Amino acid sequence: MKRATGWDDQVASAIVGELKGRDGALLPILHALQEEFGYVDQRVVAELATALNLSRAEVTGTISFYHDFRANPAGRHVIKICRAEACQSVGCEDLVAHLKRRHGLDVDALSADGLLTIETVYCLGNCALGPAILADGEPVGRVDADTLDSLVARAGSERALTDGEVLS
Amino acid sequence: MSLIKETDFGTPARESDVTVTLTIDGMAVTVPAGTSVMAAAMQAGTKIPKLCATDMLEPFGSCRLCLVEIDGRRGTPASCTTLVEAGMVVHTQTERLAKLRKGVMELYISDHPLDCLTCAANGDCELQDMAGAVGLREVRYDKGGENHFDCAERDQSNPYFDYDPAKCIVCNRCVRACEEVQGTFALTILGRGFDSRVSPGGTDFLSSECVSCGACVQACPTATLVEKSVVAMGQPEHSKVTTCAYCGVGCSFKAEMQGDRLVRMVPYKDGKANEGHSCVKGRFAYGYATHKDRITSPMIRERITDPWREVSWDEAIAHAASEIKRIQAKYGRESVGAITSSRCTNEEVFLVQKLVRAGFGNNNVDTCARVCHSPTGYGLKTTFGTSAGTQDFDSVEDVDVMVVIGANPTDAHPVFASRMKRRLREGARLIVVDPRRIELVKTAHVAADHHLQLLPGTNVAMINAIAHTIVTEGLVNEAYVAERCEPEDFKRWRDFVSQPENSPEATEKYTGVPAAEVRAAARLYATGGNAAIYYGLGVTEHSQGSTMVMGMANIAMATGNIGRRGVGVNPLRGQNNVQGSCDMGSFPHEFSGYRHVSDDTVRHLFEGAWGVTLDAEPGLRIPNMLDSAVEGSFKGIYIQGEDIAQSDPNIKHVTDGLKAMECVVVHDIFLNETANFAHVFLPGASFLEKDGTFTNAERRISMVNKAMPPLAGYADWEVTMMLSNALGYRMDYKHPSEIMDEIARLTPTFKGVSFDRIRELGSVQWPCNDAAPEGTPIMHEKGFVRGKGKFMITAFVPTDERTGPRFPLILTTGRILSQYNVGAQTRRTENGAWHPEDVLEIHPHDAENRGIREGDLVSLASRVGDTTLRARISERMQPGVVYTTFHHVGTGANVVTTEYSDWATNCPEYKVTAVEVRLSNQQSEWQRSYEELREATRKIATTAAE
């Protein structure tokens, strides 16, 4: 997954300009924006509407239909945790509780340090290996508390690295 | 009287030459191929339960209530999306279906607040009806229902309707109505699953793209979207079908009433002009009709600075009559005249012109069409033989290439614009010729193929360039021209437009539009299939307005685009009955049906019927009346329902003329600006308060039916009659239908028209006579009315109004969706929420050069006058051109416009005025002195004890 940078209107316009000629360009553009920035800023709605001859309402409605399109920047790392039936039956809700109890992390929210977003998804198609998660786009199966602890720790240590506080 | 409930067939009617017979619940039904099972059932009288289907919208198939069983088919298909087939055997009511439908309703109700008794839709709720229809007796899921009262706030931002997301069943009808019917796409479903709700794009309604047409409110089966008036008043108990009194589209409405109180206006699906759609004005902006500013007592005064004195009808009429008699005795028969109203009914207009011709004994009658479409009358009569548009609105459904010239339909004719947009979404091509980037140039799902953004005042150069391309590139429909047009005139025209000075390359220096773009547009017009021209005041309100009308007629004839569906030359007329007021003989030179007063045969016909000798000389036009008043020979005027002191150009000249008169009689529902100069005020009746007919832009005559008694006691036709009788010319009509009978007797094109006939047909388009007993939707089908089509030479003569160092910009004027004309009505409604004041639109480049920012007060000055208003920076404008509207008193757009006018008809050149714009910090001199004058002339004496 590409490391997201801050929103840039010029870069966004370039993406819109590059893709607007495609058939059914709205979704490809939204994907490209999310890929570039990690989210789709509300600011792009009017420009998208004009570029594609749609109404602003249509663009807004489309974005809102897909949970994957975020309205706000995600953390540097994203863990998507499956909470559909199959994973529920093998304990995914325990993992959700563990994240809260151990790390103080809420699902469908950004961590306080802004580094980690944990999102609910309903089925990753990896039921045989449940509980299943997607860690920064990589599928991980048979997830347990230890797996989560190490992922959370990795996200936290990166903060230390990027802040240049500790070089171990 | 009862509440009219129109049949909802669930899916739109289909047309087909092929019919299909099937069996529904044991009954044989025959319907056109392509009809849905649901509509076929309804035709047989069987209502299949439904929630997401309604016949204004294409089927959607989401609610799953309309399931049926069909012999030989598996499962239970939705009847709205299943088309009929020959021999199909359908069952709409079975045990299995009943169980399924109950289950579906249980799910709906489990997620809906059960506050029916206090709900605004109580008595008019399809969800409630369906619960009843399927026999819902229990809800197994989450008893009591999830009420959602806490899910989202009610949105009450729109002044006319509320949105309550708690009641939404997500049937999508509103979203689809906004898309399919209105074509604005302002609504969407936000979120998904249980969270999904209708939303105007994540903002509130007022600040969204919503144009408040109300199609969503009409489509909503629950109280999710509901008129505020219904919330406040409750459900109506009876309704009257009538015709809207705003623009020339002429929408048909049900006025839904409680007693004599209007609860709401609901567009009538049988209305052939609007097919059940409306705009914000027609549906919602009716509050003016009962506004506290309505004057309900006649008033008189000696001088215009005296306070008005309320008097009895008898006294007012006697006073007006004696003044007119006195003036005529002193200054001569020609010293008085009248202006008919394009807002009033045909019958009322006919009476006013009759009063002038037979009662005053002169032909000094004119109408506000003078300042809008008089060039249309002149130009189309000269070329085709009829002073009216060639098509019906339905014709747009067959248009392949739409040319919109000098018209802004989405603002000025919104309901027809919706039909245009629908056709454009189906793939018709679009050419826009307009100095501004109007909405049609680019809006959701619509984009013009060519926008010829010419400079104001260069229309004729443009049309000649288009004609040049058609002729010199061999695109003339020679067979059509040879068969239907005058050959000599055509040859002359062909030689004229072929001249190099008419080429797109040569005219580019006037129009500013690249030659290649003009050529491409001309080719598209000539070769793209059915091509239709729709035009507005951007064509007519020029010094060469009549020339341009003939120029458009020329290219339509040259390409064979006249005389069938999908083509034509179509004026979009501004006022509800401006076509009618012209038809009824409002012009000083013409009797009803556009017959010249000098024609002895015609005049003798009227003399015989009216028992008087009539003047064979044309009378004065409005500008001539005002000129004569200033000169001192014209002294008295009767003005019905028109506000020339706000609407006419060069206001100072208008008011000077009015001030110079000895008796100005204003007959209006409000104390308008013209009344500031009046001596007699006769209170008028709104369209809700009288019977009669209006004629719309497609020559369609529709009924206006009285929904409430006149506030001041008399309909306008009765007042004109009283005035005539007081003057000594006897008029004795018991009902407006008798006036229409007289019109029909005296006017060949109206021979077959009567109130009974109109009611029988719903509406009728003139000519309606022995040759066309059901009216004439499309003109010139078998040949032109004048015989052969006449090509006219249209040399481009630039207007004398030129920009220069002192006045470097061009001002052009227009309208906006939420306001109407001089705003007398719309300003007295909540429509101000969208357009509280007139603003000056200016291109960013011109604004920057002058240091003007958004919202700054600016002075707008021409050689004639100046006014001050706020600036709006807009890229809709091209550099060098500014734009404003004239909806508000005191804006003074017409203080700035000049006395120049169309060479043939005196239609003012509103669209081209050389101006300068500067930052300002105060109102103009005119605005201040006019405010003082208003103060002085609008007082009404408090009624003394009698």
Let me know whether A138 and A90 are in one domain: yes
Judging contacts by C-beta atoms under 8 Å, the chain A residues touching residue B163 are: none
Residue of B nearest to A58 (CA): B188
Q: Which residue has the tokens 């020609």?
A: B334
Q: Which of B185, B442, B445 lies nearest to residue A57, judging by beta carbons?
A: B185
The residues, any chain, with a CB within 8 Å of residue B340's CB and separated by 6 or more, are B348, B349, B352, B353, B365, B366, B367, B581, B584, B586, B640, B642
Q: Is residue A20 part of a domain?
A: yes
The beta-carbon neighbor of B444 closest among A53, A61, A67 is: A53
Q: How many domains does chain A have?
A: 2
Q: Where does residue B23 rank: exposed (0-12), middle (13-18), buried (19+ CB within 10 A)?
A: middle
Q: Answer whether residue A1 shows pLDDT above 80.
A: no
Say which of B186, B442, B443 has its CB closest to residue A57: B186
Q: CA–CA separation, B36 vs B32, rounded Å?
A: 10
**Whole-number pLDDT of residue B945:** 42
pLDDT of residue B149: 59
Q: Reduced to 3 states, what is the DSSP secondary structure of residue B168?
A: coil
**What's the count of helices (H) and strands (E) in chain B, helices before strands?**
30, 36
Find the mean pLDDT for residues A111-128: 88
Measured in degrees and rounded to the nearest 5, phi and psi for residue B918 equal -135, 155
Whole-number Å distance between alpha carbons of B893 and B868? 9
Instruction: With cut-offs at 50, 70 and 90, classify the pLDDT of residue A113.
Output: confident
pLDDT tens for A26-43 read: 999 999 999 898 899 999
- Together in a domain, A35 and A98: no
The residue with greater pLDDT, A156 or B572, is B572
Give mean pLDDT, residues A72-94.
Answer: 91
Nearest chain A Cα distance for residue B443, angstroms: 6
Cβ A108 vs Cβ A68: under 8 Å: no
Closest Cβ opposite residue B185 in set A42, A45, A55: A55
Q: Among all residues of chain B, which has the CA nearest to that of A48?
A: B444
Interchain proximity B190–A60, CB inside 8 Å: yes
Is B192 within 8 Å of A65 when comparing Cβ atoms?
yes
Quick one: pLDDT at residue A163? 43
Residues A48 and A106 in one domain: no
Considering only alpha carbons, which residue of chain B is nearest residue A49?
A: B444
Question: Which residue does chain A place closest to B196, by CA atoms?
Answer: A65
**B222 CA to chain A: closest CA distance, Å?**
22
Contact B347, B603 (CB under 8 A): no
- CA separation for the pair B287, B159 (Å, rounded): 12
Residue of chain B minimizing CA distance to A65: B191
Query: Which of B172, B174, B188 is most worth mutating to test chain A (most A CB atoms within 10 A of its CB)?
Result: B188
Residues of A in contact with B208 (CB under 8 A): 56-57
Nearest CA in chain B to A53: B444
Statement to judge: residues A54 and A85 lie in one domain: no
Q: At what angle do helices B716-727 and B346-354 cross, to 10 degrees?
A: 10
- Residues B284-323 have pLDDT tens digits of 999 999 999 999 999 999 999 999 999 999 999 999 999 9
Cα–Cα dist B682/B665, whole Å: 7
Q: How far does the CA of residue B251 sit from the closest CA of chain A (Å)? A: 26
Partners of residue A64 in chain B, C-beta under 8 Å: 188, 190-192, 202
Domain's final residue, options A65, A86, A107: A65
Identify the pLDDT of residue B824.
86
Q: Are the beta carbons of B298 and B315 closer than 8 angstroms?
A: yes
C-alpha distance from residue B741 to each of A102, B250, B348, B699, B748 (Å): 91, 22, 13, 18, 12
Residues of A in contact with B209 (CB under 8 A): 55-57
- Domain annotation covers residue A72: no
| pLDDT value at residue B362 | 96
In a domain, A118, yes or no: yes
Q: What is the mean pLDDT of each run of 10 residues along chain B (946 residues)?
A: 91 95 96 97 95 96 96 96 97 96 92 90 95 91 60 88 93 97 96 88 94 97 96 96 94 96 95 95 94 95 95 97 97 96 96 97 92 90 92 96 96 96 97 96 96 96 98 97 96 97 97 97 98 95 95 97 96 91 94 95 96 95 94 96 88 92 96 95 96 95 96 96 96 97 96 96 94 93 93 94 93 89 88 91 96 95 92 95 89 86 88 94 90 91 60
Asked if A132 and A81 sit in the same domain, the reply is yes
User: Which residues in chain A are closer than 8 Å to B199, comparing Cβ atoms?
Assistant: 57, 60-61
Residue A56 and residue B201: Cβ atoms within 8 Å?
A: yes
Mutate to test the interface with A, among B185, B187, B446, B876 (most CBs of A within 10 A): B185
- Cβ atoms of residues A119 and A81 within 8 Å: yes
Residue B860 in 3-state DSSP? strand
- Chain A residue with minimum CA distance to B198: A61
Interface contact A57-B192, CB threshold 8 A? no
pLDDT value at position A166? 37
Q: In chain B, what residues touch A46 (CB-CB under 8 Å)?
A: none
Nearest CA of chain B to the CA of A70: how many Å?
Answer: 12
Could you give all domains of chain B from N- to C-terminal order, each with its CATH number? 19-133 (3.10.20.740), 161-290 (3.30.70.20), 299-372+577-765 (3.40.50.740), 374-571 (3.40.228.10), 809-936 (2.40.40.20)
pLDDT of residue A162 exceeding 60: no
Cis check: omega of the bond before A131, within 30 degrees of 0:
yes
Structure token digits, residue B617: 């000389």
For chain A, how long is the longest CA-to-CA vector? 54
> Is B209–A58 a contact, with Cβ atoms under 8 angstroms apart?
no
Let me know: does B191 contact A65? Beta carbons within 8 Å: yes
A130 occurs within a structural domain = yes
Dist CA B299 CA B943 (whole Å)? 11
- The closest CB to that of B185, out of A45, A58, A67, belongs to A58
Return all residues near B262 (Cβ < 8 A) that are at least 6 apart. Answer: B255, B256, B286, B289, B290, B688, B707, B708
Render the burial of B61-92: b for 16+ CB within 10 Å, e for the rest. Answer: ebbbbbbbbbeeeeebbbbbbbbbeeebebbb
The residue from A65, A91, A112 where one domain ends is A65
Same structural domain, A55 and A99 = no
- Which amino acid type is present at position B309? R
CB contact under 8 A, A53 and B199: no
For chain B, the straight-line distance linking the first and the last C-alpha, in angstroms and rounded, comes to: 40
Helix (H) or strand (E) holding A35: helix A26-37
Chain B residues with CB inside 8 Å of A21's CB?
Answer: none
Q: Which residues of chain A does B424 touch, with a Cβ-Cβ cutoff of 8 Å?
A: none
Q: Are B189 and A61 in contact (CB < 8 Å)?
A: yes
| Cα separation, A71 vs A168, whole angstroms | 36
Closest CB to B188 among A53, A60, A67: A60
Closest approach of B187 to chain A, Cα-based (Å): 6
Given this model, what pLDDT does residue B890 score? Answer: 81
Residue recorded with tokens 């051109």: B881
Residue B442 is nearest to which of A45, A53, A59, comparing CB atoms?
Answer: A53
Instruction: Characterize B40-50 residue by residue with b for buried, 16 or more Cβ atoms within 10 angstroms of its Cβ, and e for exposed.
Output: bbbbbebbbbb
Q: Do A57 and B445 touch (CB under 8 A)?
A: no
Question: Taking CB atoms and an 8 Å limit, are A64 and B192 in contact across chains?
Answer: yes
CATH of the domain at A109: 3.40.30.10
Per DSSP, B324 falls in state H
Cis peptide before B767 (omega within 30 of 0): yes
Residue A1 resides in a domain: no
Domain end call among A65, A90, A111? A65
Residue A150 burial by CB count (10 A; 0-12/13-18/19+): exposed, middle or buried? exposed
Residues A55 and A83 in one domain: no
**Residue of B191, B200, B447 lying closest to A57 (CB–CB):** B200
| Nearest CA distance, B422 vs chain A (angstrom) | 15
Does the residue A85 lie in any domain?
A: yes
Q: Which helix (H) or strand (E) holds B414?
A: helix B414-425
Task: Check CB contact under 8 Å for B201 and A65.
Answer: no
Helical spans, DSSP H, in B701-779: 716-727, 736-746, 755-761
My answer on whether A46 and A96 are in the same domain is no
Which candidate in A20, A44, A64 is best for mutational testing of the B interface (most B CBs within 10 A)? A64
pLDDT of res. B874: 95
Assess if residue A3 is contained within a domain: no
Beta carbons of A55 and B442 less than 8 Å apart = no
pLDDT given for residue B892 in this prediction = 80
Structure tokens at B550: 């003939």
pLDDT tens, B530-550? 999 999 999 999 999 999 999
Q: How far, in Å, are A122, B581, B675, B889 from residue B672 at the CA level?
A: 65, 20, 5, 9
> Please, which residues have CB within 8 angstroms of residue B643's CB and are 6 or more apart in sequence?
B668, B672, B673, B674, B822, B824
Taking CB atoms and an 8 Å cut-off, how many pairs form between chains A and B? 58
Give a yes or no: residue A114 inside a domain: yes
Q: Note whether A81 and A61 are same-domain residues.
A: no
Q: CA torsion sign, B720 to B721 to B723 to B727? A: positive
In this structure, the dihedral spanned by the alpha carbons of residues B356, B357, B361 and B366, taken in order and rounded to 10 degrees, is 50
Same domain, residue pair A91 and A19 = no
User: Residue A159's pLDDT band (boundaries 50, 70, 90)?
Assistant: low
Instruction: Record the pTM.
Output: 0.92
Please give the residue range of the domain that contains residue A49. Answer: 9-65
d(CA B925, CA B851): 23
Burial grade of B18 (CB within 10 A; 0-12, 13-18, 19 or more):
exposed
Kindly state whether residues A88 and A156 are assigned to the same domain. yes
- The answer to whether residues A97 and A39 belong to one domain is no
CB distance B199–A50 less than 8 Å? Answer: no
Q: How far is B401 from chain A (nearest CA, A)?
A: 20
- Interface probe, candidates A56, A66, A67, A121, chain B, greatest B C-beta count within 10 A: A56
